[in-house]
Amino acid sequence: MAKDTVENTNKIDINWLMRAGKHKLGERSYNQCITWTTSGAWGERKSRISYGIDLTDYLNSTINLIYTTTNNYSGEKTDVDYSVDLTTTPCHFGGRHYWFLCPGNNCNRRVGALYFGSKYFLCRHCLDLSYEKRNTNKSYREFGRIFDFEEKTEKLADKLWGKYGRRFYGGKQTKTYQKYLRYSNYESLMLGG
C-alpha cells in the first residue's frame, strides 16, 4: 500500500514564511495567518492557522502555532496551541538561515518544512510521509519523464514564439532556443523517433 504523500498534506515552509511575512531578526510579530484552500469532489475546503513568531534572539527563536482541529467522526473541536523552536545556520554571504526543530517525541530534527498530521505539525519522517514520485512504479516514471520534457518544450516554445520571443540574437542561437532544441531532441529520442 502506498504511503501518504507530502504533496497531499498541509505544510508550513520556513523559507516561504520568512519571505512572505518579511520577518526580521530582533522582531516579534503575532496574529499572522496562513490559509490553505483545497477543492475536490465535496466542494472547496479551507484550512487556517494563526501563528506568532519571535525572532528577538536568534539563539532562542520560536514560532507559536494556534489552530482548531475537528474530529471527522464525532465532530468534536479541539483548540491546539503550542510552540516550535527555531534554529539557525549562518549563510555564506552573511545573514542567517532559519530551520524548524521538529516538535515530535524525541525527534528534534532540523527541517525546512512541517506537515500536518492528525493533530500536530511534524516533520515528514515522524508522519511517515513519502513523495508522490516515490509511490509510482519505475516503468511509469519513464513515461512521466517524457511528459515532463513535453511540457517543458511547450513552455519554451510559447516563450520563443510569443510576443517578444527570440531564437537568434547577434547571429547566434539564444540560450532559451538551445534549451528548446535539447528538450525536443531528447523527447524524440525517448519516443524512439
By CB atoms closer than 10 A (0-12, 13-18, 19+), residue 21 is middle
1 within domain boundaries = no
Would 95 be classed as within a structural domain?
yes
Q: What is the pLDDT along the chain (193 residues), one digit of tens a residue?
A: 567 888 888 889 998 888 887 777 777 777 788 888 876 666 677 788 888 888 888 788 899 999 988 887 888 888 999 999 999 999 888 888 899 999 988 899 999 999 998 889 999 999 988 887 777 766 666 666 666 767 777 777 777 777 667 778 888 888 888 888 887 776 565 555 5
**How far apart (Å, rounded) are the C-alpha atoms in residues 84 and 138?**
37
Is 15 within 8 Å of 21 (Cβ atoms)?
A: no
Q: Is the dihedral of CA 35, 9, 37, 24 positive or negative?
A: positive
Q: Residue 36: name the closest of 13, 53, 3 by CA.
A: 13
Are residues 105 and 16 located together in one domain of the fold? yes
Give me the domain span that covers residue 173: 136-190
Same domain? For 112 and 142 the reply is no
